[in-house]
Amino acid sequence: MSVDVILRNADLPQGNRRVRVDILVQNGQIAGYVQSSAGMSAPQVVDCQGRLVLPGAIDGHTHFNELEFAAREGFVTGSAAAAAGGVTTVVDMPDLPAVRSAAQFDRKYAAVQGKAYVDYGFWGGMTGEDVREGWMDRIDEQIERGVCAFKLYMTPSVPTYPRVDEAEMLELFTKIAPTGIPIGIHAENYAIADYYVQKLQREGRQDGPAWAQARTRLAERVAIQLVISLAEATGARAHIVHMSTRDGVELVRAAKQRGVSITAETCPHYLRLTAAEAMREFGSFAKIAPPLRAEEDIAALWEGLRDGTVDFMGTDHAPYVIATEKQAPGMDIWTSLPGIPGVETLVPFMVSEGLNQGRLSLEQLVRVTSRHSAIHYGLYPKKGSAEVGADADFTVIDEHEAWVVDPQRLHSKAQYTPFQGLRLTGKVKQTILRGQVIYDDAGDLQGPPGTGQYVPRQRVQRLERWLKY
Ligand SMILES: [Zn+2]
């Protein structure tokens, strides 16, 4: 028997145990596992050296900017950062440029051709404007293109993507409910968030933590309460993106226990950084929406990941240009744009702070970095699975290697991160996409971009309820 690739000496998670196997890859897919491939031949053999080999991580929340927004992170640098961070699939957000129709989808699809190192799916878009203008059929055409989910902003985000009000949300939830496709909601109440931003601005506050004080936890709380009410009323699948507060964890947990169709994600920065410290130290380089919170939120979010309230991780990777959008002359904490990178540090962070610190078991780590995202976005078991027949996407980790996050050494265009100086134990040694090594820690990216392919939604799938109570 011969295969295309053999990945030797891989320590593969099997629940919370690890099994040492050789992985056989044929046509980019997992063809089988053997205890020893001695005597077998393949044109390519990769020695994983007994390291932990995780299913390739999935980041379902990136904002790679293309076309008229190409001064920022685009697919070339963004997906390079993903590859270097052990992320083999991203699902990219629909805002820059806007993807809110089939024509706009096709424009983005064409612009991305040949640029990605890793595989990618697309979010679709829907806004209050679709309701007001009678453009609801644009949702159906995007579903036909294979979008994985739809994004809704309750607060104004970028000019290309208007917010929704409460009635428009109800219309959109009702429209999407029968399809079973999830809606991801940026959940902050606009009136409350905006009022306190203006109030603190008028009071002359210029310190970093003022941003976090203005975007209150109550703004997130009441927004999530509304989402839960609408999901319960319509049966739509609602997903809280970048959930940041203990309040959110408690609300989502209670809603899940009632049987409401709701899921949630959080991001690494909400699991480690506090507004009081990081926003004082990094100012606008730690400015995001929703903002960083406090220790009690960090503890609650980890607990949520453990018990299944928080279903999986995303990064909200959205860096801006330092010279013109973060620290331009005359710019302050209120006018600098909210966004930070994250795709490159996701896996090392979760290995270091989750697995190695004992906050997550091996099985939980796999669930929240790949498996659950793949199911949620309709990509499983092609992605997020180590089953025979799945794409041979893997992340080879040295769990013991320590390193310090330095934005100058990351592949992102960002050149900043509020994780700067953070010491992590756990490093990506190789990233394997459909059997090919696309990144090697010793030799960097293994070729030009273009290895990544578009992956449409395979089917509509629902996460089974993992919540243990
Ligand atoms: Zn986002």
Taking the centre of ligand 1 as the mean of its atom positions, its distance from the CA of residue 155, in whole angstroms, is: 12
Q: What is the pLDDT of residue 469?
A: 46
Classify residue 14: in a domain, yes or no: no
The rounded average pLDDT for each run of 10 residues, N- to C-terminus, in the chain (469 residues) is 93 97 98 95 96 98 92 96 98 94 98 98 96 96 97 88 94 97 97 97 96 97 98 97 98 96 97 97 96 98 97 97 93 95 98 98 98 97 97 98 97 96 98 98 95 95 71
Taking the centre of ligand 1 as the mean of its atom positions, its distance from the CA of residue 31, in whole angstroms, is: 36
Q: How many structural domains is the chain composed of? A: 1
Taking the centre of ligand 1 as the mean of its atom positions, its distance from the CA of residue 4, in whole angstroms, is: 38
Q: Cα separation of 271 and 224, whole Å?
A: 19
CATH of the domain at 198: 3.20.20.140
Taking the centre of ligand 1 as the mean of its atom positions, its distance from the CA of residue 303, in whole angstroms, is: 23
Taking the centre of ligand 1 as the mean of its atom positions, its distance from the CA of residue 431, in whole angstroms, is: 24
Taking the centre of ligand 1 as the mean of its atom positions, its distance from the CA of residue 28, in whole angstroms, is: 31
Taking the centre of ligand 1 as the mean of its atom positions, its distance from the CA of residue 187, in whole angstroms, is: 11
Taking the centre of ligand 1 as the mean of its atom positions, its distance from the CA of residue 311, in whole angstroms, is: 17
Classify residue 441: in a domain, yes or no: no
Digit-coded pLDDT (tens) for 96-153:
899 999 999 999 999 999 999 999 999 999 999 999 999 999 999 999 999 999 999 9
Taking the centre of ligand 1 as the mean of its atom positions, its distance from the CA of residue 156, in whole angstroms, is: 12
Taking the centre of ligand 1 as the mean of its atom positions, its distance from the CA of residue 158, in whole angstroms, is: 11
Taking the centre of ligand 1 as the mean of its atom positions, its distance from the CA of residue 62, in whole angstroms, is: 7
Taking the centre of ligand 1 as the mean of its atom positions, its distance from the CA of residue 317, in whole angstroms, is: 7
Taking the centre of ligand 1 as the mean of its atom positions, its distance from the CA of residue 244, in whole angstroms, is: 13
Taking the centre of ligand 1 as the mean of its atom positions, its distance from the CA of residue 184, in whole angstroms, is: 10
Taking the centre of ligand 1 as the mean of its atom positions, its distance from the CA of residue 399, in whole angstroms, is: 29
- Tokens at 282, concatenated: 């990094």
Classify residue 111: in a domain, yes or no: yes
Q: Which among 395, 189, 169 has a CA at the least distance from the CA of 289?
A: 189
Classify residue 410: in a domain, yes or no: no
Taking the centre of ligand 1 as the mean of its atom positions, its distance from the CA of residue 95, in whole angstroms, is: 9
Digit-coded pLDDT (tens) for 421-465:
999 999 999 999 999 999 999 999 999 999 999 999 998 888 877
Classify residue 156: in a domain, yes or no: yes
Taking the centre of ligand 1 as the mean of its atom positions, its distance from the CA of residue 165, in whole angstroms, is: 19
Taking the centre of ligand 1 as the mean of its atom positions, its distance from the CA of residue 45, in whole angstroms, is: 38
Taking the centre of ligand 1 as the mean of its atom positions, its distance from the CA of residue 138, in whole angstroms, is: 22
Q: What is the pLDDT of residue 159?
A: 80
Taking the centre of ligand 1 as the mean of its atom positions, its distance from the CA of residue 274, in whole angstroms, is: 19
Taking the centre of ligand 1 as the mean of its atom positions, its distance from the CA of residue 318, in whole angstroms, is: 7
Taking the centre of ligand 1 as the mean of its atom positions, its distance from the CA of residue 269, in whole angstroms, is: 13
Taking the centre of ligand 1 as the mean of its atom positions, its distance from the CA of residue 25, in whole angstroms, is: 34
Classify residue 429: in a domain, yes or no: no
Residue 300 lies in domain: 56-376
Q: What is the pLDDT of residue 161?
A: 87
Classify residue 34: in a domain, yes or no: no
Classify residue 39: in a domain, yes or no: no
Residue given tokens 């979008």 in the structure block: 147
Taking the centre of ligand 1 as the mean of its atom positions, its distance from the CA of residue 220, in whole angstroms, is: 15
Taking the centre of ligand 1 as the mean of its atom positions, its distance from the CA of residue 291, in whole angstroms, is: 12
Q: What is the pLDDT of residue 51?
A: 98
- Indicate left, alpha or beta for 39 from its phi (over 0: left) and psi (-120 to 50: alpha): left
Q: What is the pLDDT of residue 468?
A: 58
Taking the centre of ligand 1 as the mean of its atom positions, its distance from the CA of residue 63, in whole angstroms, is: 7
